[in-house]
Amino acid sequence: MDRGLNNSRDDFPILDQQVNDEPLVYLDNAATTQKPMQVLNAIMHYYETDNANVHRGVHTLAERATESYEAARDKVAEFINAASRKSIIYTRSTTESLNWIAASFGNQVVREGDEIVISQLEHHSNIVPWQQVAQKQHAVLKYIDLTPDGQLDMDSARKQITDKTKIVSIAHAANVVGVVNPIKQLARLAHQHGAYMIADGAQAAPHMKVDVQDLDVDFYAFSGHKLLAPTGIGVLYGKEELLNAMAPAQFGGEMIDFVHHQTASWKQLPWKFEAGTPNISGAIALGSAIDYLNQLGMANIQAYEHELVAATLPRLLKIEGLTVYGPHDPNQHTGVIAFNLDGLHPHDLATGLDMEGIAVRAGHHCAQPLMTYLNVNATARASFYFYNTFEDADRLVSGIQAVKEFFADGIS
C-alpha cells in the first residue's frame, strides 16, 4: 500500500482503523481534515506545560503562552505572504471571518443603491452575510454565472462588476465543483471599478500556495480545521489600512486600550479585533499545522493531489449513470469531486460507500443556490488530501460500482 505524500499517512493515527469491517478511506477533507500527531502533541504540550492566558500575565507560564500564540501569528503571515503580522486576525473560522467583514466593513462602505457581487458557486457563509448587508443598506446583490462546465464565467463577471459595485466576494476554490477561481484577475477588475476584493480561502489555503500580496485581495479568510489544525480557529487577513479603518466586530477584554465611564478606545492591530480570551491552544496548533505543511511543501501537496484527481476523475466519468459536476478535465480540477448516481439519492450513495469503509459527504454542501443552479437537490462529494493514496482512489471507484450494483440488484 502506498503511504501518501512522503509517507505522511503514518502521522495520522485516525486513518489506521476499520469502519464497517473495512479499512477506512477518508474522503471528506473538504469538510474537515484529520490531524497529525505533531499538531495533537502541540495541543497537549500547551495544556501540560504552558496553560495560561495570553498578554495579561507577567508570570512565566503566561509569557510562554503569549510567545507561542504570537509566534503562530508570524507563521500565518509568512504562510500567506502578508506584508505585516498586524494584518493577521485570529477568528473562529472562515465563516466568522466573512461575517466580521460583512457586518463591520461591508456596512461601513455599502450604501443605498450600491452593488455587491458574488457568484453562483459560493458557500452559504459567503452568501448570507452579504444578503444581510444588502437588505440593511438597500443595496443590490448580484451573482456571477458559471460556464457550462462549472467554471466562473469571466464574461459574466465583467458584466456584473460595475462602477456601482462596492464589494466583490468570491471563493478562491469552490467547495462543490472543484475549480480554482481567477482571484487575481477578479481583484484587478474589482479595483478598476473602485470596489474591494474579498476571497474565501477555505478550500484553497490548505491545498496551494497563497500569496495575498500577489493576489492583491483586500481581505482573505480561511479555517484552521481544513488544514490540519483543530476546529475553532480561523484567520482573517486584511490590508492594514482597511483594518485600521474598520470597526471592531466584538467588544470586551483584551481589545481595549482604555475604558472611561462613557467611552472606550481600542488597542492597535491585530488585538483590536480579538476580544476576550482567545483560542490559545488552537492558534498554537495552527502554527504547528503550518510547520507541517511547509515541511511537505505546498507545491508538492498541490501536485500530488492533482495526480490523485487525474487517476480518479477519468475513471468516474466512465461509470454509466454517474454524473460528475464541474470540469471533466483533471487539469482544471482541485481534489474536490461532486457526483450523483442515477436513480439513487446522494445520502443512499454515501451510506452505501460508508458500508465499504469510504467516508464521503452527501447533501447540499452549504451551497443551496448552486444546487438550484445545477438543478439538483444534493450531491455526493469526495475530497482528497495529501495523506490519501492511489489505493484510496481505487477504493472510491470500486465502491461506487459496488453500490450501483447492490441497488440495481435490489431494484430488480
Task: Output phi, psi for 150, to 5 deg.
Answer: 90, 10
Number of other residues whose CB lies within 10 A of the CB of residue 183? 28
Are both 282 and 304 inside the same structural domain? no
Are both 209 and 73 inside the same structural domain? yes
Q: Is 366 a catalytic residue?
A: yes
Q: Say if 36 falls within a structural domain.
A: no
Handedness of CA 385, 387, 388, 389 (dihedral sign): positive
Are both 12 and 82 inside the same structural domain? no
Query: From the DSSP assignment, how many helices (H) and strands (E) are in the chain?
Result: 14, 17
Q: Tell me the per-residue pLDDT of 308-325, one tens digit each, with 9 for 90 and over.
A: 999 999 999 999 999 999
Are both 57 and 76 inside the same structural domain? yes
pLDDT recorded at residue 387: 97
pLDDT recorded at residue 2: 62
Are both 186 and 156 inside the same structural domain? yes
Contact 30, 203 (CB under 8 A): yes
Query: Which residues make Cβ contacts (< 8 Å) with residue 322, sequence separation at least 6?
Result: 316, 339, 340, 341, 342, 400, 404
User: How many whole angstroms separate alpha carbon 216 and alpha carbon 196?
Assistant: 10
User: How many whole angstroms separate alpha carbon 327 and alpha carbon 310?
Assistant: 12
pLDDT recorded at residue 412: 42
Q: Say if 288 falls within a structural domain.
A: yes
pLDDT recorded at residue 13: 96
pLDDT recorded at residue 266: 84
Q: Which segments in the chain show pLDDT lower than 70?
A: 1-3, 409-412
Are both 107 and 247 inside the same structural domain? yes
User: How many whole angstroms separate alpha carbon 356 and alpha carbon 352?
Assistant: 7
User: How many whole angstroms separate alpha carbon 246 and alpha carbon 109?
Assistant: 10
Q: What would you report as the CA-atom Rg of the chain, rounded to the nearest whole angstrom? A: 22
Residue span of the structural domain in which 112 resides:
41-295
Are both 320 and 195 inside the same structural domain? no
Closest by Cα among 144, 88, 149 to 121: 144
Q: Tell me the per-residue pLDDT of 63-80, one tens digit each, with 9 for 90 and over.
A: 999 999 999 999 999 999
> Cell triple for residue 224?
484552521
**Which CATH number belongs to the domain containing residue 403 in this structure?**
3.90.1150.10
Are both 257 and 302 inside the same structural domain? no
Contact 337, 316 (CB under 8 A): yes
- Catalytic position from the list 256, 366, 371, 402: 366
Are both 346 and 264 inside the same structural domain? no
